[in-house]
Amino acid sequence: MRKVQSARCSADSITVSFEVFRHPLWSIILPLIVLIFPPAMYGEDKNKLDINQNNVATTAKNLLSKSRLPSVQRKQVLGVWLTNSPSPLYYDKQKLKTAVDELEKAGFSVLYPNVWSRGTTFHTSQIAPLEPALKTAGVDLDPICSLSKEAHQRGMKVVPWFEYGLMEPADAAVVEEHPEWVLSRANGDSVMKMHGKEMVWLNPAHPQVRERFIGLVVEVMKRCRMDGLQLDDHFAWPVELGYDPYTTALYTAEFGITPPRDHTNRYWMAWRRRKLTGLLRQLRIRLEKEALPVRISLSPGPFRFAYNHWLQDWELWAIGELIDDLVVQNYAYSLRGYAKDLNQPALRKAREWGMPVQIGVLAGFGKRTTSMDVLKEKVRLANDRGYGVIYFYWEGLWGKHSGSEGSQFRKDSFMKMGSEE
């Protein structure tokens, strides 16, 4: 567990019953409590952590109670991500209805439709522009709420997937209008190549960026029935970014010095991680205030990669109850690599604490289609550890990315797998 130098707390300063301290997980939970209550929450003194004793005691007891939850006994989730690119699904209501019918027959229980892609939405928004292809096809198609209606009629859950998170096309109107919102490298460059496109990241620490992103989430959630929401690896702070004027001024105001030039400096990483965590916490508070479903699913990569590259400390977020569900992407080519990632300590801990855990498995995309034999083995390996499975993505099941096995063979295979559950 990483140490946080800006906050220290000893067990002697916390009043918790002796029975709590005797629990074998206390040695893990105590340092995590230090992380859950960052200095920014308790005034301007960065060298002192004033923790409310009742909050600490409650948090400790909750975590210890969670460690005993029988997470492996719940029915394992089977889900799939659905998106418009590349797929005609969003632009034809009959195709969408047929897809939901087939997924229900194959045993799928949760659908994750993409609602935020390349800086655009799939509804008329007060915050962001409409997705161009939907504008051409007709916004009245309303693919997201149409899918929600079809799925809920069949007893399936729908979790809107905010795929692009804080990432925007470099030429997006919001980037041109608000360059002060954009993160940058130490050399001043802000552009990152993602999915073959030039993209930039909006600053999670900037109040107006926070207001915009949270407003977008709330807007989507209010439109029709949803069963929570999902953020993924683009809800992040890329580790090489953070040298823009706004972030530099914010850091300097707090510490009296400019940010370290080494973007991998662990204290500099922890400071930026706390800002990202602050946005996540603020989102939960707003959802509660709006009486919307407060169930946040996160779909990151393996823990070390997620933190070292994107500053996503999902282990901390899990035990801090900032997320409610994990879908960890595991797109390893080999079964050996896949199995190794299933055994990462942070993943095992999340399940032990009672966190619902699913594994993101690549069914097919582009030129890479996973054979049915390999998919069956990956599902078995995940299920044997108590994890559900979410496939990426719809067209990779038995659609346009069916590969050499063909659509009908794969559809029949998935139907059979679903009937065996």
* Residue-wise pLDDT tens digits, 306-359: 999 999 999 999 988 999 999 999 999 899 999 999 998 888 888 888 889 999
> What does the pLDDT read at residue 421?
63
Domains along the sequence of the chain with CATH: 1-68 (no CATH), 77-167+204-419 (3.20.20.80)
- pLDDT band for position 18 (cuts 50, 70, 90): very low
Instruction: Using the predicted structure, report yes or no on whether residue 166 has a pLDDT greater than 60.
Output: yes
Between 15 and 233, name the one with better pLDDT.
Answer: 233
Instruction: Using the predicted structure, report yes or no on whether residue 154 has a pLDDT greater than 70.
Output: yes
Rounded to 5°, angle at Cα 217 from 297 and 263: 70
How many alpha carbons lie under 13 Å from residue 248 in its C-beta half-sphere?
15
| DSSP strand pairing (120-121 vs 364-365) | unpaired
> What does the pLDDT read at residue 67?
39
Rounded Cα–Cα distance for residues 201 and 196 (Å): 15
Average pLDDT over residues 176-189: 98
Please, which residues have CB within 8 angstroms of residue 65's CB and are 6 or more apart in sequence?
A: none
Please, which residues have CB within 8 angstroms of residue 24's CB and are 6 or more apart in sequence?
A: none
> What does the pLDDT read at residue 75?
64
The helix/strand/coil state of 325 is strand
Q: Which helix (H) or strand (E) holds 385?
A: none
The helix/strand/coil state of 137 is helix
Between 2 and 184, name the one with better pLDDT.
Answer: 184
Question: Quick one: tokens of 201?
Answer: 């990241």
> What does the pLDDT read at residue 290?
97
